A and B are shown apart, each in its own frame.
Chain A
Amino acid sequence: MISEWLSSIRLRLRALAKSRQLDRDLQDEMAFHLAMRERKLHEHGADAEEARYAANRAFGNVVRIREKTRTLWTFRWLEELAQDMRYAGRSLRHSPALASVVVLSLALGIGANTAIFSLMDAVMLRLLPVQHPEQLVRVERQFAKAGAPITGSFTNPLWEALRDRQNVFSGVFAWGSSFFDLAQGGEVQNANGIFVSGDYFSTLGIQPAAGRLLNATDDRRGCAPLAVLSYGFWESHFGTAANVLGQTITLNRHPFQIIGVSAPGFYGVDVGTKFDIAVPVCSATIFDGQRSRIDQRSWWWLSIIGRVKPGLTPGQVKSGLAAISPAVMRAALPQDWPSKEQEHFLQIQLATVPAATGTSFLRNSFAEPLNILMAIVALVLLIACANIASLMLARATARNKELAIRKALGASRWRLIRQLLTESVLLSILGALLGLLLARWGSALLVRDLSAGRRIVSLDLSLDSRVMGFTAAVAIFTGILVGLLPALRSTGVSLTEAMKGSNVVSEEGRARFRAGKWIVASQIALCLVLLIGGGLLLRSFVKLTTLDLGFDRSNVLLVRTNFKTVKIPAAQQEATYDEIGRRLRALPGVVSESRSIMSPISSFVWNSILHADSNMAPTGDEAVAYFNFITPDYFATMRSPLLRGRNFTEGDTKDSPPVAVVNEALARKFYPGMDALGRHFRVDPEPGQPTPLVEIVGIVKDAKYQSPREDTYPTAFFPITQMPPDPGLGRTYELRTAMPPMSLASTVQNTVAGVSKEIPLEFETLSAQVDDSLVQERLLAKLSGFFGALALLLAMIGLYGVLSYLVTQRQTEFGIRMALGAQPHSILRLVMRDLVTILGIGVAAGIGIALATVTLLQKMLFGLAPRDAETIVIAVCLLSVLAIIAGAIPARRAARVDPMVAIRYE
């Protein structure tokens, strides 16, 4: 069957190429037949003329048969399509205004859909640009306990144990990401770094663009500091200069030799982050010094991806990994863990998940916002479609006569519908093309909104077949959606009615108006759903941004620094920090200065279990509290009022009794119903370290610790002088300023350089840091606000259009009514009654749909129930007021109809 079909296509294509030859052959073939028949008849005694007639009679209508045979050889539907396209193009040129309105609104609708989809595609669906990505799997740790979390992070000892024991992968590698400071001191210049194990590039099948890539021999304990650049970094920092090979680059002040550049287009396996510099895993020792993460058994910094050996089934991979799991865990068991924890650790199973699309932090945080946005833009497109459908409906009326003539000439209804659909699909394809342009611009803009702080998101947004296919499908779907109803209606018109071509309010006209009414009512319903959803997201965001965080975020400059890479003896470090603090405090424009190991709403967390001297205190995992170490001015700088007790003073030193200031949440949790002031607690001991008894000397107002969305964490503040020694930790200076905080950055840099030029500095404002924690919420609020407004505009245009049409249709009727004595306001009432009916139906349906669907937003909302009555009321009022304004314009026109003009119009 298929071979028959293929042979027919091949023959037809050949005939298409030689269509004139085909015509002549057909003519010859049939002429030959007639000649033969004629000769035979002649031989049997007929005279020449009689024989010719008889031959023709026997054959039938030669021309018709030839035509019929000829059409067998052509692609008829294709030719008709070409015909329809030409015709559609012509009729669109005749009404350029309408065509451009339609194309533009479709471009907006389709463009928005394509933009969001291409973002989804880039984040979740795109395969890694490496060899055979489908063979890649990520290795994870699965806890024996049911429902326990599955995680993909590993320690280096675990990775080494796995690497040496596994037999299911043809290649396997580990990597961990990090930021490398390229500067020699002063303001930090961050580059995206990755630590990669020896087989990273070879397993992925990446070729060098210059020099060579890291291999297994480069990744041995005590390795040389070697680095591979990404192509993009090579381009942006070295202009693809060939002499970069052999040069050194300083990463956190450590010199690394550049040995090569990876292939263009390869950005690593973390979707959303492009790596700049890759260094071997073993080189972590160079950064870490004594307590290197290479040998740390509780430092979870690596991820693992393997390439499954050809021919292995997922089941075999699973059992292969399960078989080595106990040995791997035993080999990397953290010796200093309590025995119960160790027991859990030994039961961990290794498992795999597909990794053809790589890994991405964006998938967790943006999967849901993207789904919501996809639904929002789909609604916007539907509303735009409804608008266009009613425009096309009105246009179809104007074309009734033309369609009737074509019908009278023998065109079938199906043929006419096809013609009209070709027109609307052509429009939507034009819209889609323009939409693709808009989408490219829009999605690039959106990616910028995904970035927060130093986590710059970069995504591969190049058009791929999936995005193109999606856009094409949307274009054709909308084309048919927009064109079908008008096509069905206008081709169903009776011939006589249409030929009369009158503007009489006939049954037809009324029917069409009914259709228009339904379209607008559904538009209003969809619009209301969008407004309610958008309103909820917007109000949540406003609530989050205006929330009392417990500190004053405005006018605070955060200056982060770290002495890890600076040659200052450990004993003098604290004094150096103090000295910097003193100089910063003296700067003009600085109101107050404090120092802590972290600022609020940063990604940094320090927590531990507390043992409080209270019999009401929670125990075990429930007894977690969050810590910060601060100088005495911290509360004043953050404007977090101390409620009771005392602040830290100069007298709280390393040698004085340990003290803490706790927030209300901690006091409530650990000392319910009692006075926490003066009480004592111990921090869960780190192995080998004594933990002193700490006295609570003050209670401070609650402030958010990690996120504005959190239920304020129970927090304990300790004097920075009493911090356990840890050379790895940095410090953050908080400067409350009397001027825009960022304008102080260069002065601060100069001041710190006066102490030491080597000290690295990172600047951020506290308010920007808080904003960065609300990326998803802001994205959703911004876009749903924008699309809500767009939808509202579209729906109002639709309403205006349909009412205008109604008024024109009923002009004569209004004229007669007025001639018979109707007052303008009663005409006004007639029109407004229609408006209110449409609005009422739309609003009722919209509220219904909204109530049924808004619960999907639950997770994204803050401080609001999904079915928040206030939001619904606001949305309904906004929509109704605007609808009445949009409707009042045509209504007033109706009321001003001059009866004489209206009647004479006939």
Chain B
Amino acid sequence: MSKSDEKDELLQGTLDLLVLKTLARRSRHGYDIAESIQQNSGDVLQVEEGALYPALHRLELRGLLASEWGLSENNRRAKYYRLTAAGRKQLAKETEYWSRISAAIGRVLQAT
């Protein structure tokens, strides 16, 4: 396939983590997820909206997310995602990994 795939792959790990974190408290639909990530990062992280959906579906296929169709706040049909037990486990694992890596990078940067 085309080259843009590879960029997605690069971001995927991070995006997956953010999606899982966003869904930790309650279930949300795709738009909500994108908005939430953007807000909680203080508008630093712009989710590439198009990339969000393949990521969501991939996580669903892996059994980390489950989905159901419901009504949105403005009474439209929307697909809601929530974390499964496996997803929660994965979130914990990835959060731990991420903090370890970022702490390590932080130490390296401060060393000089």
Contacts and interface: CB of A to CB of B under 8 A. Distances in A.
Contacts of B78: 29, 32
Given A8-B62, A32-B77, A65 B54 contact: yes
5 contacts: A8-B62, A32-B79, A59-B50, A62-B50, A65-B54
B29 A32 contact: yes
Contact of B63 (A7, A28, A65): A7
Interface in B37-93: 48-51, 53-54, 57-58, 60-64, 69, 72, 74, 76-79, 86
Among A7, A12, A28, A29, the one with the most B-chain Cβ atoms within 10 Å of its Cβ is: A29
A599 B29 CA distance: 95
A33 interface: yes
Interface in A1-38: 3-4, 7-8, 11-12, 25, 28-30, 32-33, 35-37
Contact of A59 (B49, B64, B72, B74): B49
Contacts of B79: 25, 28-29, 32
B49 A28 contact: no
A32 B53 CA distance: 12
A4 B72 CA distance: 29
Contacts of A37: 31, 49
Interface residues of A, number: 26
Given A4-B62, A8-B63, A69 B76 contact: no
A175 B34 CA distance: 80
B77 A28 contact: yes
Interface residues of B, number: 25
Contact of B50 (A25, A35, A36, A65): A65
Interface of B: 29-31, 34, 48-51, 53-54, 57-58, 60-64, 69, 72, 74, 76-79, 86
A256 interface: no
A61 B62 CA distance: 25
Contacts of B54: 65, 68-69, 72
B62 A7 contact: yes
Interface-central residue, B74, B79, B86, by most chain A CB under 10 Å: B79
A110 B57 CA distance: 45
Q: Across the A-B interface, give the 4 residue pairs with the lowest CB-CB distance, nearest first.
A: A60-B50, A7-B63, A36-B31, A8-B61
Given A11-B60, A30-B53, A60-B48, 19 more contacts: A3-B86, A4-B62, A7-B61, A25-B69, A29-B79, A32-B29, A32-B79, A33-B49, A36-B31, A39-B74, A58-B49, A59-B49, A59-B50, A61-B50, A65-B53, A68-B54, A72-B54, A72-B58, A73-B61
A861 to B, nearest CB: 62
Contacts of B61: 7-8, 11-12, 72-73
A414 to B, nearest CB: 13
A138 to B, nearest CB: 51
Nearest to A1: B62
A39 B72 CA distance: 14
Contacts of A68: 54
B16 to A, nearest CB: 13
Contact of A35 (B34, B51, B69, B76): B76
Contact of A69 (B53, B63, B69): B53
A33 B81 CA distance: 14
Interface string A606-625: 00000000000000000000
A11 B57 CA distance: 11
A33 B31 contact: yes
Contacts of B74: 39
> Interface on chain A toward B: helix, strand, loop, or mixed SS?
helix
A29 B53 contact: yes
A352 to B, nearest CB: 50
Contacts of B34: 33
Contacts of A39: 74
A73 B57 contact: yes
Contacts of B53: 29-30, 33, 65, 69
Contacts of B77: 28, 32
Contacts of A25: 69, 79
B81 to A, nearest CB: 10
A17 to B, nearest CB: 16
Contacts of B60: 11
A683 B57 CA distance: 93
A698 to B, nearest CB: 94
A409 to B, nearest CB: 16
A251 B84 CA distance: 75
A309 B103 CA distance: 62
A28 B31 CA distance: 12
B30 A33 contact: yes
B33 to A, nearest CB: 10
Residue with the highest number of chain A CB atoms closer than 10 Å, among B30, B31, B51, B64: B31
Interface in A29-86: 29-30, 32-33, 35-37, 39, 58-62, 65, 68-69, 72-73
A58 B53 CA distance: 13
Nearest to B58: A72
A775 to B, nearest CB: 61
A27 to B, nearest CB: 11
Contacts of B50: 59-62, 65
Nearest to B1: A68
A76 to B, nearest CB: 11
Interface in A593-646: none
Kindly name the residue among B30, B53, B69 whose own CB sees the greatest number of chain A CB atoms within 10 A: B53
Contacts of A35: 76
A103 B30 CA distance: 54
Contacts of A36: 31, 72
A69 B8 CA distance: 13
A39 B86 CA distance: 35
A32 to B, nearest CB: 5
B53 to A, nearest CB: 5
Contacts of A28: 77, 79
Contacts of B57: 69, 72-73
Contacts of A65: 50-51, 53-54
Contacts of B58: 72
Nearest to A11: B61
A219 to B, nearest CB: 62
A29 B72 CA distance: 12
Nearest to A9: B61
Contacts of B86: 3-4
A7 B62 CA distance: 7
Contacts of B51: 60, 65
A812 to B, nearest CB: 44
A68 B60 CA distance: 15
A35 B29 CA distance: 13
A348 B24 CA distance: 76
A60 B51 CA distance: 9
Given A32-B31, A33-B30, A4 B48 contact: no
A187 B10 CA distance: 88
B72 A60 contact: no
Nearest to A6: B63
Contacts of B72: 32, 36
Contacts of A4: 62-64, 86
Interface in A108-129: none
B29 to A, nearest CB: 7
A392 B102 CA distance: 58
Contacts of B29: 32-33
> Which of A32, A36, A61 counts the most B-chain CB atoms under 10 A from its CB?
A36
Contacts of B69: 25
Nearest to B49: A59
Contacts of A32: 29-31, 72, 76-79
Contacts of B30: 29, 32-33
Nearest to B60: A11
Contacts of A33: 29-31, 34, 49, 53
A421 B64 CA distance: 37
A561 B54 CA distance: 88
A207 to B, nearest CB: 47
A61 to B, nearest CB: 7
